[in-house]
Amino acid sequence: MSQVANQNDIHGFFNSPMAQQQLQQLLGEQTANFTASLVQIVNNSNMLKNVNPHTILGCALTSASLDLPISDKLGYAYIVPYKGQAQFQIGYKGFVQLAIRTGQFKRIEACAVYQDDSEYDVYQRLTSLLPIPPKDGVPIIGYTAYFELHNGYTARLAKSVQELQAHATKYSQSYQKGGGVWKTNFHEMALKTVIKLLLSKQAPLSIANQMSQAIEADQAVIVNGQYRYIDNEQDQPPKMLDNIVFERMITAIHTGYDSRGRPFGKKEAREYLDKNNYTLSQEQQHKFLSA
């Protein structure tokens, strides 16, 4: 009896004038179908039935504004229950979809890196229509993301499994306690993390601005447009690289050596930017591309 009452409460909340007015503003004629789908998602999850419905509505409104369907099967966006609240989470496919919509990407992809991979194997997995499959039983040692813009600019980012585990430990309280989506679906979270970090740190500012809502909303509890991060610290936004330091970096790329006489090229430059959480201005990106 209580389950029937709970389902009626859920149906009543999302069909209330308050909820319907907000959904109608974003979805128009699609509101009825969206509401029915949302109620079904909640009713199919015993955990979501017991969270604050206002936070579920916040997730729904955010997914509608980003035009990313909420579905465990599709992998674009999810509603994740945690401590009686609903968190909005964007999947790996969701970030890729949002990037593609900017119209500036020729290619964007992420993949696992296996122990016996060569650089060619990884590049093929990122770019080929028929990538070479890994051998059975070979362990995954990391994850990498790559994009190429239509103007020729390319960027990549790689993280070892240990680095991603450290990232999860730092930013997820539930993972620290042995639970949460990092524990149940490490592969998906690892793919999303390298894509998200790559876009936030190395995509041109024009693209980063378009995707700022998605990056801010990811893993947030959302009520009335306000974001709270109850399971994690929000990633620190990347810092703009000082132009004097940038010019020294370009000089080192041209000479092939840094100020200490160590070999230095674009690979080392990207590693420096990633390690220190730096990003480049659009003018710097063009100069870096042609260096």
CA distance 107 to 157: 14
Amino acid 289: pLDDT:
84
Whole-angstrom CA distances from 73 to 30, 69, 77 are 21, 10, 10
- Report which residue type is found at 271: E
What are the DSSP calls for 93-115, one per residue? HHHHHHHHHTT-EEEEEEEEEET
Q: Are residues 117 and 83 in the same domain?
A: no
Per the structure, the complete domain to which residue 120 belongs is given by 103-210
The pLDDT tens digits for 17-36 are: 999 999 999 999 999 999 99
Residues 146 and 189 in one domain: yes
Same domain, 13 and 42: yes
DSSP string covering 117-159: --HHHHHHHHH-SSPPPPPTTPPEEEEEEEEEETTS-EEEEEE
Amino acid at the residue 88 = F
In a domain, 223, yes or no: no
Q: How sure is the predictor about 152, in pLDDT bands with cuts at 50, 70 and 90?
A: very high
Q: Are 288 and 250 in contact (CB under 8 A)?
A: yes
**In the chain, how many domains are there?**
3
In this predicted model, what pLDDT tens digit does every residue of 262-277 receive, in sequence order? 899 998 898 888 777 7
pLDDT value of residue 2: 37
| Residues 188 and 260 reside in one and the same domain | no
Q: Which helix (H) or strand (E) holds 212?
A: helix 212-217
Q: Is the same domain home to 202 and 258?
A: no
Residue type, 251: T
Is residue 217 in some structural domain? Answer: no
Tell me which residue of 127, 90, 121, 87 sits closest to 105, measured CA to CA: 127
For 209-266, the pLDDT digits (tens) are 678 889 889 989 999 889 998 876 555 567 788 889 999 999 999 999 988 888 999 9
Confidence band of 4 (pLDDT split at 50, 70, 90):
very low
- In-domain check, residue 225: no
Neighbours of 269 (CB within 10 A): 19
Shared domain check, 6 and 83? yes
CA pair distance 7, 128, nearest whole angstrom:
47
